[in-house]
Amino acid sequence: MTSSAPISYKDAGVDIDAGDALVERIKPLARKTLREGVLASIGGFGALFEVPRRYKEPVLVSGTDGVGTKLKLAFEWGMHDTVGIDLVGMSVNDVLVQGAEPLFFLDYFACGKLDVDTAERVVAGIARGCEHSGCALIGGETAEMPGMYPPGEYDLAGFAVGVVEKSKILDGRNVCPGDVVLGLASNGVHSNGFSLVRKVIERAGTELPARLDGQLFRDAVMAPTRLYVKPVLAALAQHPVKALAHITGGGLLENIPRVLPADCAARLRAGSWPRSQLYAWLQRVAGISDFEMNRTFNNGIGMVLVIEPAHAAACAATLREAGETVYEIGAITERAQAAAVTVV
């Protein structure tokens, strides 16, 4: 016999009060990211933003991404404070590649049962990433969906919108043989290749190193995606950069060709940037080739710039002054073979 007792939304697994509490905690975090153009605070049905009037022919550039299976380690190790930075970095660095200034960011947080404390830690990381990138966290969605996710797990998606002057869009069309390839150091694995990272950790079992690259092992593995926005925008304002490539899934071998003309290739010099202990450990335990490393991971280079030789040193100096570690890692050549990128 069917019970006639009332069933509330909370009985079904959705706690509206917890959701409201999270929104109240998020509001002061979001306020720290406010910038010119924001017309409404968090809580409305839609986020309002006015394109800065200093742009004469503004072109909007959008990007979206997630954090991937790096989240599985965040759950296992209880490390929720920096995956929000990863979420921001994966989108704003992509938007930056077209020469765009990130304007605002929205996030999507989905879980089976909302843990307000954990969600706040994640969103605090998102807010830090936005603040560091100069973009406003102006909206998002928290979805509590009983039965969709295992207890203690959640998923993230992020959405960034930037703007670039039409005449200053970077599309790589002017790249030509002889141009210099500059590489900006990564913080580590960032947020790609973690399905392999987790397999390596599983294979290593209890024989994990205590420290790598001067950090505790877990901190080295979970180091957040580097946010390149402000230093690179400073370089773009002063130097004639021809192309940018964010080194994400597909590594150096598959991301650099995305910004090269069909008749150009990139020849990178092996050893022109240092090899981290983390990547050396991953490769040794996985037992994979240099080729596989370079098409799976950023392998130490998180952003690539292409520029004429006459401007390369000055551009590198600007980036270093802004806090980046910069290496001259190769040059553009005529494409005479199938591979668009070689590391020799």
- Report phi then psi at 333, rounded to 5: -125, 170
DSSP secondary structure letters along 308-337: -HHHHHHHHHHHHHTT--EEEEEEEEE--S
pLDDT tens column, 153-183:
999 999 999 999 999 999 999 999 999 999 9
174 falls within a domain: no
Looking at the structure, tell me whether residues 195 and 321 fall in a common domain: yes
Domain identity same for 89 and 229? no
- The dihedral through the CA atoms of 159, 121, 246, 97 has a sign that is positive
Give pTM, 2 decimals.
0.94
Q: According to the model, what pLDDT value does residue 98 have? A: 98
Same domain membership, residue 107 and residue 29: yes
Confidence of residue 2 (pLDDT cuts 50, 70, 90): low
| Boundary of a domain, candidates 168, 203, 236 | 168
Q: What is the mean pLDDT of the chain?
A: 95
Q: How far is the C-alpha of 83 from the C-alpha of 126, rounded, in Å?
A: 8
- pLDDT at position 11, please? 74
What's the pLDDT tens digit per position in 234-245?
A: 999 999 999 999
CA-CA distance, 220 to 202, in Å (whole number)?
A: 17
User: Of the residues 140, 168, 196, which one is the last residue of a structural domain?
Assistant: 168
Whether residues 189 and 309 fall in one domain: yes
Residue 150 lies in a domain: yes
Q: Are residues 327 and 184 in the same domain?
A: yes
Residues 162 and 187 in one domain: no
Give the distance from CA 333 to its chain's centroid. Answer: 29
Residue 2 lies in a domain: no
The reply to whether 122 and 257 lie within a common domain is no
Give the integer Cα–Cα distance in Å for 226 and 191.
10
Of the candidates 328, 216, 228, 324, the one whose C-alpha atom is nearest the C-alpha of residue 277 is: 216
Residue 189 and residue 249 in one domain: yes
Look at residue 126 and tell me whether its pLDDT is greater than 80. yes
- What is the structure's pLDDT at 3? 61
Residues 236 and 295 grouped into a single domain: yes
pLDDT digits (tens, 9 = 90+) for 291-324: 999 999 999 999 999 999 999 999 999 999 999 9
Geometric angle at alpha carbon 299, from 186 and 78, rounded to 5°: 65
Average pLDDT over residues 286-290: 96
My answer on whether 37 and 101 are in the same domain is yes
CATH of the domain at 105: 3.30.1330.10
pLDDT tens sequence across 27-58: 899 999 999 999 976 667 888 999 999 999 99
Residue range 100-111: mean pLDDT, rounded: 97
Q: Evaluate whether residue 233 is within a structural domain.
A: yes
What's the average model confidence in pLDDT over 89-101?
98
User: Last residue of some domain: 168, 200, 235?
Assistant: 168
Same domain, 98 and 160: yes
Q: Which of 34-48, 179-193, 207-221 has the lowest mean pLDDT?
A: 34-48
Mean pLDDT of 114-131: 97
CA–CA distances in Å: residue 259 to residues 165, 220, 298:
19, 30, 16
Contact 102, 134 (CB under 8 A): yes
Residues 43 and 148 occupy one common structural domain: yes
Residue 175 is assigned to a structural domain of this protein: no
Number of domains into which the chain is organized: 2
Contact 84, 125 (CB under 8 A): yes
Residue 106 located in a structural domain = yes
Percent of the chain surpassing pLDDT 90 = 88
Range of the domain at 235: 180-343
Answer whether residue 10 is part of any domain. no
Q: What are 264's two structure tokens?
A: 């150009």
Question: What CATH number has the domain bearing residue 241?
Answer: 3.90.650.10
Residue 9 falls within a domain, yes or no?
Answer: no
Quick one: what percent of the chain has pLDDT higher than 70? 98
